[in-house]
A = this chain, B = another copy of it.
């Protein structure tokens, strides 16, 4: 019984599939399957088996899950505790949907680091909304920014920002082609929800590596693109993009911050969550354009897990 085996088990149980867990951990599927096999043999119980919809826990697995989950969480806590005690920078890991990550997480972390006074080592990542709950619950990340994450009673998912999702295009853009960022491939994202509500067929969608690229393509007449109004206000004012009316936009969206319950989350996660309520953070979410100095810039980790 090793911590990695337990971690794999917990993630499979929470995500409901070996594949999803393997993806979240950024390893191959057999790696997870095998960790599971080792744990099964060690404990002499199938723990979790294929069911009609996803993997389902055996009675033994159900008993194990909360214990294993806590062990994994404590593992992360152990590291943080030791570093904190010797004054080393504490890690703060933030995940967000690609849309949010692109503009706001880096400035937010940077501002928080300067304001908090404490020495901290922030890093940001991009994750799918379906993984966020498990990532937070397993303490693989400290806080997640994205849509509301319900369904897990131990998580605290609170709104932190109100935004308006609109559709923009260039002067010659037609609504036949939709230019989107990677979040559109995440069924849980707001972008994806918007496309579904407009019944946009897949073959009318082109995915760009980021929103900036999608908007630029839209400005050049390649099609229309979803956007948060406040993030494209500048381009609209300059006439490069203009608002395209649709039956469902503007959509009122709330960005949520999700952490473990206030009593169980790491102190730093709580501090960051509170920071998100300050005028300074609000300002950054509204006008993130400022960017951060290259000396402090750290590229976001894509998907998955830090080590």
| Residues of A near any B CB (own CB < 8 A) | 1-3, 6, 43-45, 47, 58-64, 67-68, 70-71, 74-75, 77-79, 81-86, 88
Contacts and interface: CB of A to CB of B under 8 A. Distances in A.
B84 A63 contact: yes
Contact of A2 (B2, B63, B85): B2
Given A2-B2, A85-B45, A86-B59, A67 B71 contact: no
A39 to B, nearest CB: 10
Given A1-B3, A2-B3, A44-B88, A78 B82 contact: no
Of the candidates A47, A59, A67, A83, the one having the most CB atoms from chain B within 10 angstroms of its own CB is A67
Contacts of A71: 71, 74-75, 78
B75 A1 contact: yes
A61 B83 CA distance: 10
B67 A85 contact: no
Given A60-B86, A63-B81, 19 more contacts: A1-B78, A3-B3, A43-B78, A43-B83, A44-B82, A44-B88, A45-B82, A45-B86, A58-B85, A58-B86, A59-B85, A59-B86, A60-B85, A62-B85, A64-B81, A64-B82, A67-B74, A67-B81, A71-B75
Given A1-B3, A44-B88, A85-B45, A68 B78 contact: yes
Contacts of A88: 44
A67 B44 CA distance: 27
Given A67-B74, A74-B74, A79 B43 contact: yes
A85 B85 CA distance: 39
A60 B45 contact: no
B70 A82 contact: no
A72 to B, nearest CB: 9
A241 to B, nearest CB: 49
B43 A64 contact: no
Contacts of A85: 45, 58-60, 62-63
A41 B131 CA distance: 32
A80 B58 CA distance: 15
B86 A77 contact: no
Nearest to A62: B85
A129 B85 CA distance: 33
A233 to B, nearest CB: 46
B78 A64 contact: yes
Sorted from nearest, which 6 A-B pairs have the closest CB atoms?
A63-B81, A60-B85, A60-B82, A59-B85, A63-B85, A67-B78
Contacts of A3: 1-3
Most chain B CB within 10 A, of A2, A45, A63, is at A63
A95 to B, nearest CB: 23
A43 B74 contact: no
A77 B60 CA distance: 12
Instruction: Report which residue of A6, A44, A61, A85 has the largest number of chain B beta carbons within 10 angstroms of its beta carbon.
Output: A85
A60 B3 CA distance: 21
